[in-house]
Amino acid sequence: MKTSPRRPLILKRRRLPLPIQNAPGETSGEEPKRPPAQQEPGQAQASKEAAESSSCKFPAGIKIINHPTMPNTQVVAVPNNANIQSIITALTAKGKESGSSGPNKFILISCGGAPTHPPGPQPQAQTSNDPKRTEVVTETLGPKPAARDVNLPRPPGALPGQRWESCGMWSARQRAGGEAAGCTLDNSLTNIQWLGKMSSDGLGSSSIKQEMEEKENRHLEQSQVEEPPGASTSWQDSASERPPYSYMAMIQFAINSTERKRMTLKDIYTWIEDHFPYFKHIAKPGWKNSIRHNLSLHDMFVRETSANGKVSFWTIHPSANRYLTLDQVFKQQQKRPNPELRRNVTIKTELPLGARRKMKPLLPRVSSYLVPIQFPVNQSLVLQPSVKVPLPLAASLMSSELARHSKRVRIAPKVLLAEEGVAPLPATGPVQEDRLLLGEGLSPLLPVQSIKEEEPQPGEETPPLGRPIKVESPPLEEWPSPCLSVKEESSHSWEGSSHSPTPRPKKSYSGLKSPARCVSEMLVIKRREGREMSRSRRKQHLLPPCLDEPELLFSEGPGASQRATELPLPAESSEPASQLGYSQEEGGPFKTPIKETLPISSTPSKSVLPVTPESWRLTPPAKGGGLDFSPVQPPQAAFGPLPDSLGPTDFSTTPLKSIPLFDSPRELLNSEPFDLTSDPFSTSSPSDMEVPKPHSPGPEVAGLSANRSLTEGLVLDTMNDSLSKILLDISFPGLEEDPLGPDSINWAQFIPELW
């Protein structure tokens, strides 16, 4: 009993349902309890699979060359319009055949075809947003392109969801910038069944629109969703042990196990009990309190109210959702011997109560990382089917120097914003970075994100805040949605008052979050009063912890560009849509705080981020590029403002510090060590650079050389069945100087299509 003296009274909370409604979303999906075992059938999958399998052949136009320095690694230039999925399938098969002795890692880069980056309109953002995440796609899978909308074409047979894809972790989602192309990519990527193994449930779904009747649907979802029974895991077996996952992770697993990616509290409890018997039989009843606490605490968990207002569903903010499922994580752990992970898994908690605390969260991170690739000069190999083009190869792209340049930047997950000048953020980990960058430094703009979301409704644009924020932020991807901190309540500045301390509802969005407006709302800041709370942790924004996944790195700063694209649609709104996952979190790497900047209090709570929640996702209007595969584009123009802010300077300070390198992917790429600092890339954003275009000198880009550009690519490791996104630094031939140096290669020579 402590009566805590301090405990302030709690004001009444009010929940407001936002007017928005997107109706659609809501279905209810969640699964009620887990269905027994259904899942399997994946019809949907089937279809996709079929496709996959069938396509084993490489489409024409693909060029494959051996990576000069990396053993068993080949670089595959894929035409934009090619079906990536097929290619991946084929490569996977090829890699498998080769076994460890042959090529088993493939770096895929898009080339030719469509230029990707149409700056303009990009539909979605793609992954870019975050580089880090590679996640999956989501829901919409296929349709993403325009489709996003409602009707997704889900495969007919398929249900909406189903697990077919999943791949969350590794899969990359991307949408390319181009529509068409994008589509292709998406699909493919999404599908990546090859990862099959990892499947779990996840993804799929698109949302759907309708769902009014929540209840009804539930079953469906459920059925689809859950994880395969078997998959689950070991803990199941040992019921008595506490699972090595944090509550936050388990909640994510639970929510992501549904098709709609939303679940009621009760269902979350049930899911956890069903999957982790420990909670059913051994844990103290207080665990449920902890679940609730986590839901309320983390911004990534967003409460949505059903249309009728009667049912509250917990969802994961799309931008923060990696769509991880228990199954995926479990598999990943198995695959990767990461010591830690494993450790966790095995941990036994015998300790009496107190002791057990040690579990650490294990969510895998899905992101991609940026890696410089070097091409060797000669080795070309082409494989492939139809076209074999021998490439002359040349030198490596990045010379070592380059390589080092690349740094990764992480984006912060949490965004906070300060609206008005406040900027307080704590600087904590990851998040900060971004924030800092943006926010603080720039103070002004934060990312507000873009509102683009689906709803086009305009209107809101800038909130009252005064600053126009539209842009998004920052640099990179912050996806972090988490930002949400804002949540509605406050947000309303427009709406109402801004900050009154009164009641602030958290995040729940009633209708779904529809984005658009929400955004605005979100913007608000929450900051609480001033100092008071320094300590409390209000909601945290952030992401789930991931495991070791690779992170994405982006060098870029302007992330805006990148990120922007990510989402496909603005329209979508509802569901989970796309999202990317991000990783932010912590990760290890990340963690570093950037405290430097931070001013004051660290407590997160207070700070507010302007960001809108959704913003993260869509943001970038302009952006076009898709990252996906496509070259990153230069956004420059698009966001004019950003650049400034973001500018190199900011970056420079930022992020990088923390991490030296990539995590996981090291395998593949091991490139040299990167330095953070030096790289031009980093500073400038890659995005800016980029691309293919002949150089137009991007204005900002400055940093880098004109020649270079970054392209997003994927790394397929057939040994691990992993697919990760990477950023490639490539230089252009023609330009004058190459920063890279003599070494650098011109890819264009090899793969003309790249440019």
Partner DNA sequence: CTATGTAAACAAC
Partner DNA sequence: GTTGTTTACATAG
Binders in 335-374 for DNA, by CB under 7 A? 354-361
The enclosing H or E element of 400 equals helix 400-405
The reply to whether 538 sits near DNA by the rule CB under 7 A is yes
Strand, helix or coil for residue 688: helix
Quick one: 54 or 266, whose CB is closer to DNA? 266
Q: How far apart are CA 228 and CA 87, in angstroms?
A: 27
Q: How far is CA 166 from the centre of its chain?
A: 14
Among 292, 335, 342, 388, binds DNA (CB under 7 A): 292
Which tokens in the block code for residue 39?
């899942």
Find the shortest distance in angstroms from Cβ 228 to DNA. Answer: 24
Q: C-beta of 501: minimal distance to DNA in Å?
A: 9
Nearest approach in angstroms of CB 366 to DNA is 15
Among 447, 475, 593, 698, binds DNA (CB under 7 A): 593
Instruction: Between 304 and 628, name the residue whose CB sits nearer to DNA.
Output: 304
Closer residue to DNA in complex, CB, 273/738: 273
Among 281, 531, 537, 666, binds DNA (CB under 7 A): 537
Alpha helices in 537-613 (DSSP H): 560-564
CB of 594 to DNA, least distance (A): 10
Closer Cβ to DNA, 4 or 101, answer by number: 4
Candidate residues 53, 55, 210, 312; the one interacting with DNA per rule CB under 7 A: 312
Counting contacts by CB under 7 A, is residue 19 touching DNA?
Answer: no
In a 10 Å sphere around its CB, with 0-12 CB exposed, 13-18 middle and 19+ buried, how is residue 193 labelled? buried
Answer yes or no whether residue 600 interacts with DNA by CB under 7 A. no
- For residue 183, the surrounding DSSP H or E stretch is helix 179-191
Query: Which residues share a beta bridge with 367?
Result: 133
Strand partners, 729: 710
Q: How far is the CB of 164 from DNA (least distance, A)?
A: 29
Instruction: Match 């887990």 to its residue by tokens.
Output: 34
Residues 457-496 that bind DNA (CB under 7 A): none
Q: Which is nearer to DNA, 105 or 526 (CB)?
A: 526
- Candidate ranges 134-142, 176-184, 282-290, 703-711; the one touching DNA (CB under 7 A): 282-290
* Residue 343 structure tokens: 């450790």
- Judged by DSSP in three states, 729 sits in strand
Comparison of 275 and 467: residue with beta carbon closer to DNA: 275
Our CB check for DNA shows the closer of 91 and 542 to be: 542
Given the structure tokens 């489409």, which residue do they identify?
59
Q: What is the dihedral of CA 476, 477, 482, 483, to 10 degrees?
A: 40
Nearest to 124 by CA among 59, 166, 200, 185: 185
Per-residue three-class SS string for 360-395: CCCCCCCECEECCCCCCCCCCCCCCCCCCCCCCCCC
Instruction: Kindly tell me which of 505 and 620 has the beta carbon lying closer to DNA.
Output: 505
Looking at 284, 348, 531, 666, which residue binds DNA (CB under 7 A)? 284
Of 223, 162, 155, 163, the closest CA to residue 198 belongs to: 163
- Taking the complex as a whole, the smallest distance from the CB of residue 310 to DNA amounts, in Å, to 8
**Is there binding between residue 513 and DNA (CB under 7 A)?**
no
- Contact flags string 133-172 toward DNA, x per CB under 7 A: ----------------------------------------
Restricted to residues 604-633, the positions that interact with DNA (CB under 7 A) are 604-605
Residue 17 vs 61, nearer CB to DNA: 17
Q: How far is the CB of 664 from DNA (least distance, A)?
A: 18
Among 7, 101, 156, 352, binds DNA (CB under 7 A): 7
Which span (540-548, 570-578, 670-678, 691-699) binds DNA, by CB under 7 A? Answer: 540-548
Tokens of 111: 């080339």
295 binds DNA (CB under 7 A): yes
- Are 677 and 740 in contact by the 8 Å Cβ rule? The answer is no
Show contacts with DNA in window 543-572 (CB under 7 A): 544-545
Of positions 46, 93, 265, 600, contacts DNA by CB under 7 A: 265
Q: Does 531 bind DNA (CB under 7 A)?
A: no
Quote the CA–CA distance of 163 and 696 in Å, as a whole number: 44
Q: Between 7 and 339, name the residue whose CB sits nearer to DNA.
A: 7
Q: Which of 290, 379, 649, 678 binds DNA (CB under 7 A)?
A: 290
Cβ neighbour number for residue 693 with a 10 Å cutoff: 18
Residue 321 C-beta: closest distance to DNA, Å:
15
Give CA–CA dist 399/374, Å, rounded: 7
**Strand order through the sheet with 312-316:** 262-263, 312-316, 301-305
Q: What residues does 713 pair with on adjacent strands?
A: 109, 726
Residue 507 near DNA by CB under 7 A: yes
Interface pattern 242-261 for DNA (x via CB under 7 A): ---xxxx-------------
Q: Output 473 or 508, the one with its CB closest to DNA.
A: 508
* Spatial separation of the C-alpha atoms in residues 328 and 202, rounded to whole Å: 9
| The binder of DNA chosen from 154, 506, 617, 708 (CB under 7 A) | 506
282 touches DNA by CB under 7 A = no
Q: Which of residues 393-412 bind DNA (CB under 7 A)?
A: none
Among 130, 259, 478, 585, binds DNA (CB under 7 A): 585
Which H helix or E strand runs over 294? Answer: helix 286-297
Figure out which of the listed residues 154, 591, 693, 695 binds DNA, where binding follows CB under 7 A.
591
Asked if 101 interacts with DNA (CB under 7 A), we say no
Segment holding 46, helix H or strand E: helix 43-54
**Count of residues interacting with DNA (CB under 7 A):** 77
Crossing angle of the two packed helices 247-256 and 286-297, in degrees rounded to 10:
80
Q: Nearer to DNA by C-beta: 111 or 412? A: 412
Q: Which CB, 235 or 247, lies closer to DNA?
A: 247
- Stretch of residues binding DNA (CB under 7 A), selected from 40-48, 531-539, 699-707, 740-748: 531-539
SS3 of residue 734 by DSSP: coil
Q: Which of 366, 383, 389, 427 binds DNA (CB under 7 A)?
A: 427
586 interacts with DNA by CB under 7 A = yes
The distance of closest approach from Cβ of residue 170 to DNA in the complex, given in angstroms and rounded to an integer, is 20
**Those residues with Cβ within 8 angstroms of residue 496's Cβ, 6 or more apart along the chain or in another chain:** none
Window 715 to 734, contacts with DNA (CB under 7 A):
none
Closest by CA to 141, choosing from 633, 575, 623, is 575
**Residue 80 beta carbon to DNA: minimum distance, rounded to whole angstroms:** 38
User: Given its phi and psi angles, is residue 261 left (phi above 0), alpha (psi -120 to 50 degrees) or beta?
Assistant: left
Quickly count: other Cβ atoms within 10 Å of residue 431's Cβ.
37
Could you tell me the CA-to-CA distances from 506 to 290, 391, 511 in Å, in that order?
17, 56, 14
Residue 301 CB, nearest approach to DNA (Å): 8
Site for DNA in 177-236 (CB under 7 A): none
Close Cβ partners of 390 (under 8 Å, ≥ 6 residues apart): 380, 381, 382
Exactly one of 112, 142, 229, 430 binds DNA (CB under 7 A); that residue is 430
Report if residue 539 touches DNA, rule: CB under 7 A: yes
> Binding of DNA at residue 266 (CB under 7 A)?
yes
User: Contact 687/648 with Cβ under 8 angstroms?
Assistant: no
Minimum distance between the CB of residue 370 and DNA, rounded to whole angstroms? 22
Outline where DSSP puts E strands in 67-153: 73-79, 105-111
| Beta strand residue intervals within 6-153, DSSP E | 63-66, 73-79, 105-111
Contact assessment for residue 375 and residue 75, using Cβ atoms and an 8 Å cutoff: yes
Between 434 and 585, whose beta carbon lies closer to DNA? 585
DSSP for residue 240: T
| Using rule CB under 7 A, residue 595 touches DNA | yes
